[in-house]
Amino acid sequence: MDKKNKPLSKNQKIVLDFIQKNKKPVKAYSILSNVKRKGINAPPQVYRALDKLIEIGKIHRVESQNSFVACKVSDCDTPHKTIFSICNSCEIVSEIKDPKLFKQLKDFSDNDGIKFDGYNLEFFGTCKACKNKQPESTQH
Amino acid sequence: MDKKNKPLSKNQKIVLDFIQKNKKPVKAYSILSNVKRKGINAPPQVYRALDKLIEIGKIHRVESQNSFVACKVSDCDTPHKTIFSICNSCEIVSEIKDPKLFKQLKDFSDNDGIKFDGYNLEFFGTCKACKNKQPESTQH
DNA sequence: TCAAATTATGTTATATTATAACACTACACT
DNA sequence: AGTGTAGTGTTATAATATAACATAATTTGA
């Protein structure tokens, strides 16, 4: 797949840069307002860049948040094969790299024997940092 | 958990009925337009019912589609523990019941030893029916 | 049993997320 | 040089979701 090695366009670079700078996933309109001074003026410009960056696997969409996060997995050569953990409290998202789980999802087939092209798995819980912050009695 | 046995309210019933009648997941505004004649007039009424139905596990949200589907798994007593397969072509969604995968996801913990409260897994592919319809050369 | 708390309803307005449509530009390729 | 593909810029609008407020129904427990 050599789409990955194609140089990014101007807008794609701007959007990717901004996403990579952020620890947490970012929203499309937050990207927009933050890159306005770089000459990106309107939603379609952002969404086009996002679509392409997702396609080439540089970023992922966090479905449950409508947000976007840079890919942290170096050999993640395909989009749509993603495993995230999401903290309900601080909303930090981490990409999980677990070879065993990865393999299992890749090889999974349903009752009809159908194998799948991709998957998205999102785990929800409370991250370590947030667990330490709040004594268990305070959890809502 | 006895929330499940609580009788549903009027609007909750109307919304659940409509979702259960549909084989495919339905969108919030499609629900709205279809239940207007039953006295539901505005989006908040639909979204409130949806929220509650999700909370008690009667329906699930299909994150990648912004759509809602009735729960098909009888012992699915908790929300947010869902596995779906989604056909890229016809968009039919099936809830997957695979005890092995289920257990694995339930027991999964990350590098920090954190266990999760819930998860959502969506597989993407082409369902059997759609595979039969289109000879492989025609696939886009 | 009745007052308080909780849950649900109805409504208007608005916020948030995403795409359609059209005109134009940059670049790759043979 | 001409044609195709990808990218850009712009306006408008579609689609999804929630805020905020007023009121009614229901549970519940002192």
B113 φ/ψ sector (left φ>0, alpha ψ -120 to 50, else beta): left
Above 70 in pLDDT, residue A4? no
> pLDDT band at residue A9, thresholds of 50, 70 and 90?
very high
- Count CB neighbours of B137 within 10 A: 5
What the block records as the tokens of B11 is 């609007």
- Residue A3: per-residue pLDDT: 59
Band (pLDDT 50/70/90 cuts) for residue B6 is confident
Write the DSSP string, A46-69: HHHHHHHHHHTTSEEEEGGGTEEE
Among the partner residues A85, A110, A119, nearest to B116 by beta-carbon distance: A85
Chain A interface mutation, best of B61, B63, B128, highest count of A Cβ atoms under 10 Å? B63
- Structural domains of chain A in order of their starting residue, each with its CATH number: 3-138 (1.10.10.10)
Q: Which residue has the higher pLDDT, B64 or B111?
A: B64
User: What's the whole-number average pLDDT of chain B?
Assistant: 89
Q: Look at residue A139 and tell me whether its pLDDT is greater than 90.
A: no
Say which range, A3-12, A80-89, A97-106, has the weakest mean pLDDT. Answer: A3-12
Token pair of B26 as six digits: 């339905």
Q: How many CB pairs under 8 A join A and B?
A: 89
Rounded average pLDDT over B57-86: 88
Q: What is the mean pLDDT of residues A25-44?
A: 97
How sure is the predictor about A61, in pLDDT bands with cuts at 50, 70 and 90? very high
Closest chain B C-alpha to A81 CA, distance in angstroms:
9
| Nucleic acid strand D: bases within 7 A of protein CB | 6-13, 15-20
A108 vs B: CB within 8 A? yes
Percent of chain B with pLDDT over 90: 74
Count of other CB atoms within 10 angstroms of residue A95: 16
pLDDT digits (tens, 9 = 90+) for B29-50: 999 999 999 999 999 999 999 9
| Cβ neighbour number for residue A90 with a 10 Å cutoff | 13
Burial of B127 (0-12, 13-18, 19+ CB in 10 A): buried
Instruction: Tell me how far apart the alpha carbons of residues A129 and B49 are, in angstroms, rounded to a whole number.
Output: 34
Residue B122 CA to residue B91 CA, distance in Å, equals: 12
Q: Report the pLDDT averaged over residues B68-74.
A: 88
Backbone angles phi, psi at A86, to 5 degrees: -130, 125
Residue B134: pLDDT band (50, 70, 90) is: low
- Mean pLDDT within B87-96: 92
Q: How confident is the model at residue A1 (pLDDT cuts 50, 70, 90)?
A: very low
What gap in Å lies between CA A93 and CA A5, rounded to an integer? 26
Angle between helices A10-21 and A28-35 in degrees, nearest 10 = 110
Top pLDDT among A13 and B136 is at A13
Smallest Cβ–Cβ distance between B121 and the set A85, A112, A121 belongs to A121
Please tell me whether any atom of strand D lies within 7 Å of the Cβ of A118: no
- Residue A85: name the closest of A64, A109, A104, A108 by CA: A64
Strands (E), B47-113: 59-62, 67-70, 81-87, 93-95
Task: Give the confidence band of B123 by pLDDT, cuts at 50, 70, 90.
Answer: very high
Per-residue pLDDT of A96-138, as tens digits, reads: 999 999 999 999 999 889 999 999 999 999 999 998 876 544 4
Q: Which residues of A touch B109 (CB under 8 A)?
A: none
Least confident of A1-15, B25-39, B83-97, B111-125: A1-15
> What angle, 0 to 180 degrees and rounded to 10, lies between the N-to-C axes of helices B43-55 and B10-21?
80
- Is the shortest CB-to-strand distance from A48 to strand D under 7 Å? yes
